Amino acid sequence: MTEHTSTTMPRRRFLRTAALAGTLAATGVGAGAGTAAAADEEFEAWFSNVGNYDGVADYRGQSEVSVAVGSEANGGAFGFGPAAIQVDPGTTVVWEWTGDGGLHNVAETGGAFESELTDEGGYTFEQAVETEGVHYYVCVPHEQMGMKGAVVVGDLGVGSAQTVAEEPIYGHWLDGVSNYDGTVDMTGREEIRIAVGTEGNGGMYAFDPPAVKVDSGTTVVWEWTGEAEHDVVDERLGYASPRLSEAGDTFSRRFEGEGISKYACSTLEDIGMKGAIVVGDPPAPNELPPMVERGVWGLLGLAVLSPLAAGEYLRRQRRPERREVPAAPR
């Protein structure tokens, strides 16, 4: 997430530390709000005219999160960036003005918080969010244009996860994984969690989310739902959890460098209980088998250095391999 600061004007902060008590009833999420499906439908409807909404950016695990005010969206600098974020209870959300798009403010629809109306680049407004729920907010002058946002507090399942802009290449690894619908962007966090044994692949046979992107140095924690006995295995990288079944059991690994970890439940890989962790920004892997890949690149190098040598290489490759045949018994 980009942080916008001003080099020409002093930085000002307004801090309101009051908890957002009563916001659940105001937003319609929580006790008495109806089914989870209804809450999700309401959430998506809220963003129906928000030009830069592309899913919920997950920042759980961070104590402070920044949101830009006056991001490019809705026909000008009339957006919050990101438009929707998910955080843990107790997180401080910092809205920072870009100075673009004229006068903006941040006003929670239930009246729990409201900033000044300003166009000052670098001005910030902070709010500690303590109560689990969805906190919808707007820029009052530009609400009708789509300048709206939301803070999802806690582990509520509303909205779709924000996926990475360009899908990594997994080969055919995630083919047949029924709950895979994109790589969830979890960069910017020191620790993430993946559920083991969620609905998918014909039963409680899925990892959720099945594909994530993280930064180098991130610790991934797999947490069991308790629905069945599973393990987490990546034979190529050489890590494997015990077979666990109790709700709350965990297995963790810290990932460094760049690359893709392709893991599975060892007994249910064939039915689609697989996952992938993209670490950093690895180059797209070549889908050719290793021996073919070496042969192709070797041939290209020969062709550049010597066309005659390349031709000789091809001629030798076409020759049948000579094998030693044992002598017939006398």
What pLDDT sits at residue 292?
Answer: 35
Nearest in space to 276 (alpha carbons), one of 144, 195, 174, 189: 174
pLDDT at position 289 over 70: no
**Cα distance between residue 266 and residue 234, in whole Å:** 9
Model confidence pLDDT, tens digit, residues 54-110 = 888 888 878 899 999 999 999 999 999 999 999 999 999 999 999 999 999 999 999
What pLDDT sits at residue 109?
Answer: 96
CB 284, CB 169: distance < 8 Å? yes
**Token reading at 204:** 């409680």
Nearest in space to 110 (alpha carbons), one of 174, 22, 38, 8: 22
**Cα distance between residue 188 and residue 87, in whole Å:** 12
What pLDDT sits at residue 262?
Answer: 97
84 contacts: CB under 8 Å, gap ≥ 6: 47, 53, 55, 56, 57, 149, 150, 151, 152, 159, 162
Model confidence pLDDT, tens digit, residues 291-315 = 333 333 344 443 444 455 445 544 5
Write down the pTM of the prediction: 0.58
Quick one: DSSP state of residue 271? G
Owner of token pair 């000002």 = 12
Q: Alpha helices of the chain — where are they, by DSSP H? A: 23-27, 36-46, 290-305, 307-318
**Cα distance between residue 146 and residue 78, in whole Å:** 8
Owner of token pair 């309401």 = 42
Model confidence pLDDT, tens digit, residues 214-233 = 999 999 999 999 999 999 99
Task: For the chain, count helices (H), then strands (E).
Answer: 4, 20
How many CB atoms within 10 Å of residue 105? 20
Mean pLDDT, the chain, integer: 80
CB 26, CB 49: distance < 8 Å? no
Band (pLDDT 50/70/90 cuts) for residue 285 is low
Model confidence pLDDT, tens digit, residues 176-186 = 999 998 999 88
pLDDT at position 203 over 70: yes
